[in-house]
Structure 1
Amino acid sequence: MRTSHKLLLRFFYDKNFDFSKVLVGYIDRGTPGDISYASGDEICNLDSNYFEVISKNTTKPIPYHRLLIISYGGIIIWEREVP
């Protein structure tokens, strides 16, 4: 199984995919339900340890271990395994 990071890299760099169709859900403490979502259009960088989301006039780093779900075109592609 692919890691969430490798999957996002594939969607980002593979010309067969439209990164704007990606939606990620991640743990975001302090928000309602402690979950936020970002579309591919809001993700501006894929670092080795985190991805960056455009937030107002700045960017917000989100570590990959906070990812809960990745969907593409409305179809869930990856979901965090719950032990």
Structure 2
Amino acid sequence: MIALNTCIGAIAAICTTVAFVPQVIKSWRTRDLSGISLPMYTIFTIGVILWLVYGLLIRDWPVIIANAITALLAGVVLLLKLKSIAQC
């Protein structure tokens, strides 16, 4: 049986990860990233990567999976933002 704290962590991980999907879809489709803050997404992506490293160190699968996916999603938005700045 899975421990309650692992279940709560998994549900929280799913919620926070899925929350990024609409932003990625909108950014990808419209290529309008004018409302996206480059410093915020840079700091956030670094933070998520550090959470991923932390999850790996403590071997906590909800932390690992959620942050790996969130890092990918936030990284896509960050790269689109950098690309839009480079084209200006």
Shorter-normalised TM range: under 0.3
Question: Which protein has the larger Cα radius of gyration, Structure 1 or Structure 2?
Answer: 2
Q: Using CA pairs under 8 Å that are at least 6 residues apart, name the structure with larger relative contact order, 1 or 2.
A: 2
Structure with the largest fraction of helix: 2
